[in-house]
Chains A and B, each alone.
Chain A
Protein backbone atom coordinates (compact mmCIF):
# COMPACT_ATOMS: atom_id res chain seq x y z
CA UNK A 1 0.00 0.00 0.00
CA UNK A 2 3.00 2.29 0.33
CA UNK A 3 3.67 2.53 -3.36
CA UNK A 4 3.73 6.23 -4.09
CA UNK A 5 1.58 6.99 -7.07
CA UNK A 6 0.53 10.43 -8.11
CA UNK A 7 -2.96 9.62 -9.29
CA UNK A 8 -6.45 11.02 -8.86
CA UNK A 9 -8.97 8.18 -8.49
CA UNK A 10 -12.21 8.56 -10.42
CA UNK A 11 -15.16 9.86 -8.44
CA UNK A 12 -18.60 8.20 -8.67
CA UNK A 13 -19.57 10.06 -11.82
CA UNK A 14 -16.14 9.44 -13.32
CA UNK A 15 -16.59 5.69 -12.81
CA UNK A 16 -20.11 5.82 -14.24
CA UNK A 17 -18.89 7.83 -17.25
CA UNK A 18 -16.09 5.32 -17.91
CA UNK A 19 -18.55 2.39 -17.88
CA UNK A 20 -21.15 4.23 -19.96
CA UNK A 21 -18.59 4.69 -22.74
CA UNK A 22 -18.59 0.89 -23.23
CA UNK A 23 -22.37 0.45 -23.66
CA UNK A 24 -23.27 0.26 -27.37
CA UNK A 25 -26.49 1.46 -28.94
CA UNK A 26 -29.33 -1.06 -28.83
CA UNK A 27 -28.47 -2.86 -25.61
CA UNK A 28 -31.14 -3.58 -23.00
CA UNK A 29 -29.62 -2.65 -19.65
CA UNK A 30 -30.59 -2.87 -15.98
CA UNK A 31 -28.81 -0.57 -13.52
CA UNK A 32 -28.59 -1.45 -9.84
CA UNK A 33 -29.06 0.99 -6.98
CA UNK A 34 -26.23 3.44 -6.11
CA UNK A 35 -23.35 4.22 -8.49
CA UNK A 36 -24.87 2.00 -11.24
CA UNK A 37 -27.91 4.31 -11.43
CA UNK A 38 -25.58 7.19 -12.41
CA UNK A 39 -24.49 5.34 -15.58
CA UNK A 40 -27.56 6.39 -17.59
CA UNK A 41 -26.69 10.07 -17.02
CA UNK A 42 -23.56 9.50 -19.09
CA UNK A 43 -25.10 7.77 -22.10
CA UNK A 44 -25.80 10.51 -24.66
CA UNK A 45 -29.50 10.72 -25.61
CA UNK A 46 -28.74 10.08 -29.29
CA UNK A 47 -27.23 6.68 -28.41
CA UNK A 48 -30.40 4.63 -27.91
CA UNK A 49 -29.92 2.31 -24.95
CA UNK A 50 -33.02 0.76 -23.36
CA UNK A 51 -32.87 0.94 -19.58
CA UNK A 52 -35.13 -1.43 -17.69
CA UNK A 53 -36.23 -1.17 -14.04
CA UNK A 54 -37.26 -4.27 -12.07
CA UNK A 55 -40.61 -2.75 -11.06
CA UNK A 56 -41.81 -3.02 -14.63
CA UNK A 57 -40.57 0.05 -16.50
CA UNK A 58 -38.91 -0.55 -19.88
CA UNK A 59 -37.33 2.52 -21.46
CA UNK A 60 -36.51 4.51 -18.32
CA UNK A 61 -35.53 8.11 -19.09
CA UNK A 62 -33.77 10.73 -16.98
CA UNK A 63 -35.10 12.24 -13.76
CA UNK A 64 -37.88 14.76 -14.46
CA UNK A 65 -37.67 18.48 -13.66
CA UNK A 66 -39.54 19.14 -10.36
CA UNK A 67 -42.62 20.52 -12.13
CA UNK A 68 -43.07 17.29 -14.09
CA UNK A 69 -42.50 14.77 -11.30
CA UNK A 70 -45.08 11.97 -11.22
CA UNK A 71 -45.12 9.60 -8.23
CA UNK A 72 -46.77 6.90 -10.38
CA UNK A 73 -43.56 6.58 -12.35
CA UNK A 74 -40.67 5.35 -10.21
CA UNK A 75 -37.63 3.14 -10.74
CA UNK A 76 -36.49 0.20 -8.63
CA UNK A 77 -34.69 2.61 -6.29
CA UNK A 78 -38.09 4.30 -5.76
CA UNK A 79 -36.86 7.52 -7.38
CA UNK A 80 -39.15 9.39 -9.75
CA UNK A 81 -38.10 8.94 -13.37
CA UNK A 82 -39.48 9.54 -16.88
CA UNK A 83 -40.40 7.20 -19.71
CA UNK A 84 -38.71 7.58 -23.07
CA UNK A 85 -40.81 7.52 -26.25
CA UNK A 86 -41.14 3.82 -27.08
CA UNK A 87 -41.11 2.85 -23.42
CA UNK A 88 -43.63 0.49 -21.85
CA UNK A 89 -44.96 -0.80 -18.55
CA UNK A 90 -45.08 -4.49 -17.62
CA UNK A 91 -45.92 -6.49 -14.53
CA UNK A 92 -43.30 -7.80 -12.11
CA UNK A 93 -43.74 -11.26 -13.67
CA UNK A 94 -42.92 -10.04 -17.17
CA UNK A 95 -40.18 -7.77 -15.85
CA UNK A 96 -38.44 -10.72 -14.23
CA UNK A 97 -39.09 -12.97 -17.23
CA UNK A 98 -37.07 -10.36 -19.11
CA UNK A 99 -34.35 -10.49 -16.44
CA UNK A 100 -34.29 -14.23 -15.74
CA UNK A 101 -34.92 -15.30 -19.34
CA UNK A 102 -31.64 -13.88 -20.63
CA UNK A 103 -33.12 -10.84 -22.39
CA UNK A 104 -30.88 -8.29 -20.65
CA UNK A 105 -27.70 -7.54 -22.61
CA UNK A 106 -26.17 -6.06 -19.50
CA UNK A 107 -26.73 -5.64 -15.80
CA UNK A 108 -24.58 -3.23 -13.79
CA UNK A 109 -24.43 -3.83 -10.05
CA UNK A 110 -22.47 -2.46 -7.14
CA UNK A 111 -20.70 -4.97 -4.89
CA UNK A 112 -18.84 -5.45 -1.63
CA UNK A 113 -16.49 -8.00 -3.22
CA UNK A 114 -15.80 -9.68 -6.54
CA UNK A 115 -13.68 -12.84 -6.68
CA UNK A 116 -11.25 -13.84 -9.43
CA UNK A 117 -13.63 -16.67 -10.42
CA UNK A 118 -16.45 -14.18 -11.07
CA UNK A 119 -18.34 -14.70 -7.80
CA UNK A 120 -20.11 -11.59 -6.53
CA UNK A 121 -21.10 -10.62 -2.98
CA UNK A 122 -23.35 -7.55 -2.89
CA UNK A 123 -26.44 -8.14 -0.75
CA UNK A 124 -25.47 -8.87 2.84
CA UNK A 125 -22.41 -8.24 4.96
CA UNK A 126 -22.96 -11.12 7.35
CA UNK A 127 -25.33 -14.01 7.81
CA UNK A 128 -26.96 -12.63 10.95
CA UNK A 129 -27.31 -8.91 10.35
CA UNK A 130 -30.48 -6.91 10.83
CA UNK A 131 -33.33 -7.74 8.46
CA UNK A 132 -31.57 -8.94 5.31
CA UNK A 133 -32.75 -7.53 1.97
CA UNK A 134 -31.95 -9.01 -1.43
CA UNK A 135 -34.38 -7.32 -3.86
CA UNK A 136 -33.71 -8.39 -7.43
CA UNK A 137 -29.92 -8.75 -7.10
CA UNK A 138 -29.81 -12.56 -7.29
CA UNK A 139 -32.21 -12.71 -10.26
CA UNK A 140 -30.23 -10.03 -12.11
CA UNK A 141 -26.84 -11.59 -11.38
CA UNK A 142 -27.99 -15.04 -12.48
CA UNK A 143 -30.09 -13.94 -15.45
CA UNK A 144 -28.34 -11.16 -17.41
CA UNK A 145 -26.21 -12.02 -20.44
CA UNK A 146 -23.41 -9.87 -18.98
CA UNK A 147 -22.80 -8.70 -15.45
CA UNK A 148 -20.50 -5.75 -14.94
CA UNK A 149 -19.70 -4.52 -11.45
CA UNK A 150 -18.93 -0.90 -10.60
CA UNK A 151 -17.34 -0.24 -7.20
CA UNK A 152 -14.46 1.40 -5.37
CA UNK A 153 -11.28 -0.64 -5.77
CA UNK A 154 -10.80 -0.93 -1.99
CA UNK A 155 -12.88 -0.36 1.13
CA UNK A 156 -12.74 2.98 2.96
CA UNK A 157 -10.04 1.56 5.23
CA UNK A 158 -7.99 0.26 2.31
CA UNK A 159 -8.90 -3.44 2.26
CA UNK A 160 -9.06 -5.04 -1.20
CA UNK A 161 -12.44 -5.81 -2.76
CA UNK A 162 -11.04 -7.75 -5.73
CA UNK A 163 -10.32 -10.96 -3.89
CA UNK A 164 -9.41 -14.62 -4.39
CA UNK A 165 -12.61 -15.80 -2.73
CA UNK A 166 -15.48 -13.71 -1.41
CA UNK A 167 -15.84 -13.56 2.37
CA UNK A 168 -19.32 -12.00 2.39
CA UNK A 169 -22.49 -13.99 1.54
CA UNK A 170 -22.64 -14.63 -2.22
CA UNK A 171 -25.18 -13.14 -4.59
CA UNK A 172 -24.31 -15.48 -7.49
CA UNK A 173 -21.43 -17.71 -8.51
CA UNK A 174 -19.09 -17.18 -11.47
CA UNK A 175 -21.18 -14.52 -13.23
CA UNK A 176 -19.16 -11.26 -13.23
CA UNK A 177 -17.45 -10.59 -16.56
CA UNK A 178 -15.98 -7.12 -15.95
CA UNK A 179 -15.26 -4.76 -13.05
CA UNK A 180 -15.03 -0.95 -13.26
CA UNK A 181 -13.31 0.61 -10.25
CA UNK A 182 -12.11 4.10 -9.41
CA UNK A 183 -8.62 2.95 -10.48
CA UNK A 184 -8.99 0.48 -13.36
CA UNK A 185 -11.14 -1.67 -15.63
CA UNK A 186 -10.61 -5.40 -15.29
CA UNK A 187 -11.99 -8.43 -17.12
CA UNK A 188 -12.76 -11.66 -15.30
CA UNK A 189 -11.14 -14.43 -17.37
CA UNK A 190 -10.67 -18.17 -16.81
CA UNK A 191 -7.17 -17.18 -15.58
CA UNK A 192 -8.46 -14.52 -13.16
CA UNK A 193 -8.47 -10.73 -13.36
CA UNK A 194 -6.98 -9.15 -16.49
CA UNK A 195 -6.39 -5.39 -16.43
CA UNK A 196 -7.91 -3.68 -19.49
CA UNK A 197 -6.95 -0.14 -18.60
CA UNK A 198 -5.96 2.03 -15.66
CA UNK A 199 -6.40 5.69 -14.76
CA UNK A 200 -3.53 7.98 -15.81
CA UNK A 201 -0.43 7.50 -13.67
CA UNK A 202 -1.49 4.12 -12.26
CA UNK A 203 0.90 1.19 -12.69
CA UNK A 204 0.17 -2.52 -12.64
CA UNK A 205 2.44 -2.84 -9.60
CA UNK A 206 0.59 -0.15 -7.65
CA UNK A 207 -2.76 -1.63 -8.63
CA UNK A 208 -1.61 -5.08 -7.52
CA UNK A 209 -0.69 -3.61 -4.12
CA UNK A 210 -4.38 -2.63 -3.73
CA UNK A 211 -5.72 -5.99 -4.89
CA UNK A 212 -5.77 -9.36 -3.14
CA UNK A 213 -6.27 -11.44 -6.28
CA UNK A 214 -3.42 -11.83 -8.78
CA UNK A 215 -3.58 -9.35 -11.67
CA UNK A 216 -2.28 -9.71 -15.21
CA UNK A 217 -2.40 -7.36 -18.16
CA UNK A 218 -5.16 -8.07 -20.67
CA UNK A 219 -3.93 -9.97 -23.72
Chain B
Protein backbone atom coordinates (compact mmCIF):
# COMPACT_ATOMS: atom_id res chain seq x y z
CA UNK B 1 0.00 0.00 0.00
CA UNK B 2 1.30 3.43 -0.90
CA UNK B 3 1.03 5.78 2.05
CA UNK B 4 3.04 8.99 1.93
CA UNK B 5 1.76 10.38 5.23
CA UNK B 6 4.33 10.77 7.97
CA UNK B 7 3.62 11.56 11.62
CA UNK B 8 5.28 14.94 12.03
CA UNK B 9 6.89 17.84 10.23
CA UNK B 10 10.18 17.00 11.91
CA UNK B 11 10.06 13.43 10.57
CA UNK B 12 9.17 14.78 7.11
CA UNK B 13 12.35 16.88 6.89
CA UNK B 14 14.60 14.45 8.80
CA UNK B 15 17.01 13.74 5.92
CA UNK B 16 17.42 17.21 4.40
CA UNK B 17 21.15 17.84 4.22
CA UNK B 18 23.53 20.76 4.70
CA UNK B 19 23.99 22.70 1.47
CA UNK B 20 20.62 21.62 0.04
CA UNK B 21 18.66 23.78 -2.40
CA UNK B 22 15.18 24.12 -0.89
CA UNK B 23 12.20 25.35 -2.93
CA UNK B 24 9.59 26.93 -0.65
CA UNK B 25 6.06 27.49 -1.94
CA UNK B 26 3.85 30.45 -1.14
CA UNK B 27 3.24 34.03 -2.15
CA UNK B 28 3.61 36.30 0.83
CA UNK B 29 2.15 34.25 3.68
CA UNK B 30 -0.50 32.50 1.57
CA UNK B 31 0.22 28.90 0.64
CA UNK B 32 3.48 28.99 2.60
CA UNK B 33 4.45 25.75 4.40
CA UNK B 34 5.48 27.48 7.62
CA UNK B 35 5.33 24.35 9.81
CA UNK B 36 7.76 22.51 7.52
CA UNK B 37 10.08 25.54 7.55
CA UNK B 38 9.94 25.67 11.37
CA UNK B 39 10.84 21.95 11.41
CA UNK B 40 13.77 22.71 9.12
CA UNK B 41 14.90 25.33 11.67
CA UNK B 42 14.93 22.61 14.35
CA UNK B 43 17.33 20.56 12.21
CA UNK B 44 20.09 23.13 12.62
CA UNK B 45 21.31 22.80 9.02
CA UNK B 46 23.92 24.96 7.30
CA UNK B 47 24.52 26.59 3.93
CA UNK B 48 21.02 26.14 2.54
CA UNK B 49 20.02 27.81 -0.72
CA UNK B 50 16.38 28.85 -0.51
CA UNK B 51 14.19 29.55 -3.55
CA UNK B 52 11.06 31.49 -2.57
CA UNK B 53 9.11 34.33 -4.14
CA UNK B 54 9.47 36.46 -1.02
CA UNK B 55 12.21 36.44 1.56
CA UNK B 56 10.24 35.97 4.74
CA UNK B 57 8.36 38.39 6.97
CA UNK B 58 8.42 38.97 10.69
CA UNK B 59 10.39 36.47 12.78
CA UNK B 60 8.93 33.06 11.98
CA UNK B 61 9.14 30.62 9.06
CA UNK B 62 11.71 31.62 6.43
CA UNK B 63 12.64 34.76 8.38
CA UNK B 64 13.57 32.57 11.38
CA UNK B 65 15.56 30.16 9.18
CA UNK B 66 17.59 33.08 7.85
CA UNK B 67 17.94 34.81 11.24
CA UNK B 68 19.40 31.61 12.70
CA UNK B 69 22.11 31.61 10.03
CA UNK B 70 20.95 28.50 8.16
CA UNK B 71 20.70 30.14 4.75
CA UNK B 72 23.71 30.95 2.57
CA UNK B 73 21.76 32.20 -0.44
CA UNK B 74 18.24 33.31 -1.30
CA UNK B 75 16.88 33.16 -4.86
CA UNK B 76 13.69 35.22 -5.06
CA UNK B 77 11.83 37.84 -7.05
CA UNK B 78 10.64 40.20 -4.33
CA UNK B 79 12.64 40.30 -1.08
CA UNK B 80 11.33 43.70 -0.02
CA UNK B 81 7.83 42.95 1.24
CA UNK B 82 6.38 44.61 4.30
CA UNK B 83 8.08 43.09 7.32
CA UNK B 84 11.08 41.58 5.46
CA UNK B 85 13.42 42.97 8.10
CA UNK B 86 15.61 39.89 8.59
CA UNK B 87 16.66 39.60 4.93
CA UNK B 88 17.24 43.36 4.73
CA UNK B 89 19.57 43.29 7.72
CA UNK B 90 21.52 40.19 6.61
CA UNK B 91 21.88 41.64 3.10
CA UNK B 92 23.09 44.99 4.42
CA UNK B 93 25.70 43.23 6.55
CA UNK B 94 26.83 41.06 3.62
CA UNK B 95 25.88 37.88 5.50
CA UNK B 96 23.60 36.44 2.84
CA UNK B 97 23.77 36.08 -0.94
CA UNK B 98 20.78 37.32 -2.90
CA UNK B 99 19.90 36.40 -6.48
CA UNK B 100 16.96 38.45 -7.69
CA UNK B 101 15.09 36.79 -10.57
CA UNK B 102 12.05 38.12 -12.47
CA UNK B 103 9.03 36.31 -11.07
CA UNK B 104 7.95 34.68 -14.33
CA UNK B 105 11.50 33.63 -15.12
CA UNK B 106 11.75 32.08 -11.67
CA UNK B 107 8.55 30.08 -12.20
CA UNK B 108 9.63 29.04 -15.70
CA UNK B 109 13.11 27.98 -14.56
CA UNK B 110 11.48 25.58 -12.11
CA UNK B 111 8.91 24.44 -14.68
CA UNK B 112 11.80 23.67 -17.02
CA UNK B 113 13.57 21.70 -14.28
CA UNK B 114 10.43 19.65 -13.65
CA UNK B 115 9.90 19.02 -17.36
CA UNK B 116 13.48 18.02 -18.22
CA UNK B 117 14.36 21.21 -20.13
CA UNK B 118 17.89 22.36 -19.26
CA UNK B 119 17.53 25.98 -20.44
CA UNK B 120 15.28 28.32 -22.45
CA UNK B 121 15.27 31.73 -24.15
CA UNK B 122 13.10 34.61 -22.94
CA UNK B 123 12.88 38.34 -23.72
CA UNK B 124 12.26 39.07 -20.02
CA UNK B 125 15.28 40.95 -18.57
CA UNK B 126 17.05 41.28 -21.95
CA UNK B 127 18.97 44.57 -22.00
CA UNK B 128 18.57 45.08 -18.24
CA UNK B 129 20.86 44.61 -15.24
CA UNK B 130 19.27 41.25 -14.50
CA UNK B 131 20.20 40.08 -18.00
CA UNK B 132 23.86 41.04 -17.63
CA UNK B 133 26.34 38.23 -18.15
CA UNK B 134 23.75 35.97 -19.80
CA UNK B 135 23.90 34.64 -23.34
CA UNK B 136 21.83 36.77 -25.72
CA UNK B 137 20.26 35.76 -29.01
CA UNK B 138 17.63 37.43 -31.18
CA UNK B 139 14.42 35.62 -32.13
CA UNK B 140 12.17 37.39 -34.63
CA UNK B 141 14.30 40.50 -34.18
CA UNK B 142 13.85 40.51 -30.40
CA UNK B 143 16.73 40.06 -27.98
CA UNK B 144 16.34 37.14 -25.58
CA UNK B 145 18.48 35.87 -22.71
CA UNK B 146 19.29 32.26 -21.95
CA UNK B 147 17.89 31.11 -18.60
CA UNK B 148 18.80 27.82 -16.97
CA UNK B 149 16.54 25.32 -15.23
CA UNK B 150 16.33 25.68 -11.44
CA UNK B 151 16.05 22.36 -9.68
CA UNK B 152 15.60 21.76 -5.97
CA UNK B 153 16.96 19.01 -3.78
CA UNK B 154 13.85 19.51 -1.70
CA UNK B 155 10.52 21.29 -2.18
CA UNK B 156 8.34 22.35 0.75
CA UNK B 157 4.71 22.66 -0.30
CA UNK B 158 1.47 23.72 1.34
CA UNK B 159 -1.73 22.04 0.13
CA UNK B 160 -5.40 22.32 1.06
CA UNK B 161 -6.28 18.62 0.68
CA UNK B 162 -4.13 15.52 0.26
CA UNK B 163 -4.74 11.76 0.08
CA UNK B 164 -2.27 8.98 0.89
CA UNK B 165 -0.96 8.89 -2.69
CA UNK B 166 -0.02 12.55 -2.32
CA UNK B 167 -2.66 13.89 -4.71
CA UNK B 168 -3.12 17.57 -3.89
CA UNK B 169 -5.57 20.44 -4.17
CA UNK B 170 -4.88 24.03 -3.18
CA UNK B 171 -7.00 26.85 -1.80
CA UNK B 172 -7.57 30.01 -3.86
CA UNK B 173 -4.41 32.12 -4.21
CA UNK B 174 -2.61 29.58 -1.99
CA UNK B 175 -1.87 27.62 -5.17
CA UNK B 176 0.76 30.08 -6.51
CA UNK B 177 4.26 28.51 -6.70
CA UNK B 178 3.29 25.23 -5.02
CA UNK B 179 2.41 23.09 -8.09
CA UNK B 180 5.51 24.07 -10.07
CA UNK B 181 7.84 23.59 -7.10
CA UNK B 182 6.28 20.18 -6.35
CA UNK B 183 7.43 19.08 -9.82
CA UNK B 184 10.91 20.61 -9.66
CA UNK B 185 12.61 18.86 -6.74
CA UNK B 186 14.09 15.45 -6.02
CA UNK B 187 12.22 15.27 -2.71
CA UNK B 188 8.80 16.92 -2.42
CA UNK B 189 7.36 17.34 1.08
CA UNK B 190 3.84 18.61 1.66
CA UNK B 191 2.00 20.01 4.65
CA UNK B 192 -1.75 19.75 4.12
CA UNK B 193 -4.68 21.36 5.91
CA UNK B 194 -7.02 18.43 5.23
CA UNK B 195 -6.41 14.71 4.94
CA UNK B 196 -8.87 12.86 2.73
CA UNK B 197 -9.36 9.20 1.83
CA UNK B 198 -7.93 7.85 -1.41
CA UNK B 199 -10.59 8.21 -4.10
CA UNK B 200 -12.35 11.06 -2.33
CA UNK B 201 -10.79 13.77 -4.50
CA UNK B 202 -12.55 14.23 -7.82
CA UNK B 203 -9.82 13.41 -10.39
CA UNK B 204 -10.88 16.50 -12.37
CA UNK B 205 -10.01 18.63 -9.34
CA UNK B 206 -6.56 17.25 -8.46
CA UNK B 207 -3.98 19.93 -9.28
CA UNK B 208 -0.77 18.11 -8.32
CA UNK B 209 -0.87 14.36 -8.96
CA UNK B 210 0.72 12.32 -6.22
CA UNK B 211 3.49 11.06 -8.50
CA UNK B 212 5.26 14.37 -7.82
CA UNK B 213 4.92 14.06 -4.05
CA UNK B 214 7.09 12.04 -1.64
CA UNK B 215 5.85 12.85 1.86
CA UNK B 216 2.78 14.46 3.39
CA UNK B 217 2.16 15.69 6.90
CA UNK B 218 -1.30 16.71 8.12
CA UNK B 219 -1.22 20.15 9.77
CA UNK B 220 -4.65 21.81 10.04
CA UNK B 221 -3.48 25.25 11.10
CA UNK B 222 -6.33 27.37 9.74
CA UNK B 223 -6.14 30.65 7.88
CA UNK B 224 -2.86 32.29 6.87
CA UNK B 225 -1.77 35.31 8.88
CA UNK B 226 -1.10 37.90 6.22
CA UNK B 227 1.40 40.05 8.09
Chain A stretch 113-147: residues in CB contact (< 8 A) with chain B: 124, 127, 130-139, 142-143
Please determine whether A100 and B122 come into contact, CB atoms closer than 8 angstroms.
yes
B residues less than 8 Å from A80 (CB atoms): 226
Could you say which of B98, B122, B130, B173 contacts A89, with CB atoms under 8 Å apart? B173
Please determine whether B79 and A133 come into contact, CB atoms closer than 8 angstroms.
yes
Decide yes or no whether A211 CB sits under 8 A from chain B. Answer: no
B residues less than 8 Å from A137 (CB atoms): 102
> CA of A74 to CA of B174 in the docked complex: distance in angstroms?
9
Chain A stretch 142-195: residues in CB contact (< 8 A) with chain B: 142-143, 169-173
Decide yes or no whether A111 CB sits under 8 A from chain B. Answer: no
A residues less than 8 Å from B29 (CB atoms): 71
A residues less than 8 Å from B178 (CB atoms): 91
Please determine whether A135 and B223 come into contact, CB atoms closer than 8 angstroms.
no
B202 to chain A, nearest CB (A): 16
Could you say which of A56, A76, A130, A139 contacts B175, with CB atoms under 8 Å apart? A56
Please determine whether B175 and A173 come into contact, CB atoms closer than 8 angstroms.
no
B residues less than 8 Å from A95 (CB atoms): 107
B residues less than 8 Å from A89 (CB atoms): 170, 172-173, 175
> CA of A92 to CA of B24 in the docked complex: distance in angstroms?
13
Please determine whether B77 and A135 come into contact, CB atoms closer than 8 angstroms.
yes
Please determine whether A74 and B175 come into contact, CB atoms closer than 8 angstroms.
no
> CA of A95 to CA of B111 in the docked complex: distance in angstroms?
12
Please determine whether B111 and A139 come into contact, CB atoms closer than 8 angstroms.
no
Please determine whether A170 and B173 come into contact, CB atoms closer than 8 angstroms.
no
B179-222 to A contact mask, C-beta < 8 Å, 1/0: 11000000000000000000000000001000000000000000
Decide yes or no whether B134 CB sits under 8 A from chain A. Answer: no
Please determine whether B223 and A71 come into contact, CB atoms closer than 8 angstroms.
yes
> CA of A136 to CA of B110 in the docked complex: distance in angstroms?
16
Please determine whether B180 and A72 come into contact, CB atoms closer than 8 angstroms.
no
Q: Which residue of A lies closest to B80 (CB)?
A: A133
Please determine whether A93 and B78 come into contact, CB atoms closer than 8 angstroms.
no
Which of B53, B103, B207 gathers most chain A CB within 10 Å? Answer: B103
Please determine whether B128 and A136 come into contact, CB atoms closer than 8 angstroms.
no
B residues less than 8 Å from A93 (CB atoms): 107-108, 110-111, 179-180
Which of A57, A71, A73 gathers most chain B CB within 10 Å? Answer: A71
B residues less than 8 Å from A92 (CB atoms): 27, 53, 103, 107, 176-177, 180
B95-136 to A contact mask, C-beta < 8 Å, 1/0: 000101111110110110000000000111111111000000
Decide yes or no whether A47 CB sits under 8 A from chain B. Answer: no
Please determine whether B128 and A90 come into contact, CB atoms closer than 8 angstroms.
no
Could you say which of A53, A130, A134, A172 contacts B77, with CB atoms under 8 Å apart? A134
> CA of A197 to CA of B103 in the docked complex: distance in angstroms?
35
Please determine whether A142 and B124 come into contact, CB atoms closer than 8 angstroms.
yes
Could you say which of B28, B80, B110 contacts A78, with CB atoms under 8 Å apart? B28
A39 to chain B, nearest CB (A): 20
Could you say which of B30, B101, B122 contacts A71, with CB atoms under 8 Å apart? B30
Please determine whether B104 and A96 come into contact, CB atoms closer than 8 angstroms.
yes
B residues less than 8 Å from A70 (CB atoms): 172, 223
Please determine whether A133 and B100 come into contact, CB atoms closer than 8 angstroms.
yes
B113 to chain A, nearest CB (A): 12
A78-91 to B contact mask, C-beta < 8 Å, 1/0: 10100100000111
Give the interface of B toward A (CB within 8 A): 27-30, 53, 55, 77-82, 84, 87-88, 91-92, 98, 100-105, 107-108, 110-111, 122-130, 143, 170-180, 207, 223-226
Selected A-B contacts with CB under 8 Å, 6 pairs: A71-B224, A72-B172, A72-B224, A130-B92, A133-B78, A139-B104
Give the interface of A toward B (CB within 8 A): 53-57, 70-76, 78, 80, 83, 89-93, 95-96, 99-100, 124, 127, 130-139, 142-143, 169-173
- Chain A to chain B: the 9 pairs with minimum beta-carbon distance, closest first: A139-B104, A96-B104, A133-B80, A136-B103, A72-B172, A138-B102, A91-B179, A55-B27, A78-B28
Given A74-B30, A100-B104, 18 extra CB contacts under 8 A: A55-B173, A56-B27, A71-B224, A71-B225, A71-B226, A73-B172, A78-B81, A93-B107, A93-B111, A96-B104, A100-B108, A100-B122, A130-B88, A130-B92, A131-B91, A134-B100, A134-B103, A172-B128
